[in-house]
Amino acid sequence: MDWRLETLDRRFWIVGFSKRISLQFEGENHQLDELVGKMTPAVAAHLKSINDRSPEGILNVSANFEDRTREGSMLDQFLGVASSRPQEGFACLEVPSLQWAVFTAIGPYPEALQQTWADIYGKWLAECGFSLTGGPEILRNLSTDCSAADFHSEIWIPVHAR
């Protein structure tokens, strides 16, 4: 597995849109269509203009899980950017200073991404010497063409040493 550690030592906010959805492990999650529909080019440009924290770009953020290992359990899904401040008129999620395990997923979308998630939870966490912090999980898509055979994403998981 291709991964690295990142420490973001300042809190930040995810600023964008949110919706309570159920966790789905395979296939495209159509519960996200409403969030994606709100991300017009003008809104995306505005959010990118306030994206002054890492990770950069439009992010998919999962937070407030009922149970992150049980399909069908509920969570809050955010679509937005990392910013140093909340912004009125948008859903905002405060993210504290955390250490992150950042995983690379390259391959057909969404299969390669979902396989990487499965490997993180099924293998990596059992062997790595880190535990989950309970913070949000971040998906950063570096590719824009979902039909590309080499679609590139990063999965950011908040961790601490055991």
Range of the domain at 128: 3-161
What tens digit of pLDDT does each residue of 146-157 get?
899 999 999 999
Alpha carbon separation from 11 to 42, 56, 62, 68 (Å, rounded): 26, 15, 17, 23
What pTM was estimated for this model as a whole? 0.92
What mean pLDDT value characterizes the chain? Answer: 93
- CATH code of residue 139: 3.20.80.10
Distance CA 130, CA 107 (A): 26
Q: With beta carbons less than 8 A apart as the criterion, state whether 57 and 140 touch.
A: yes
What tens digit of pLDDT does each residue of 44-68 get?
999 999 999 999 999 999 999 998 7
Reading phi first (left if > 0) and then psi (alpha if -120 to 50, else beta), residue 77 is in beta
137 or 31: which carries more pLDDT confidence? 137
Domain count, the chain: 1
159 or 110: which carries more pLDDT confidence? 159
Q: Supply the pLDDT for residue 71.
A: 80
What tens digit of pLDDT does each residue of 114-145 get?
999 999 999 999 999 999 998 999 999 999 89
Strand partners, 80: 16, 59
Q: How many helices (H) and strands (E) does the chain have?
A: 4, 9
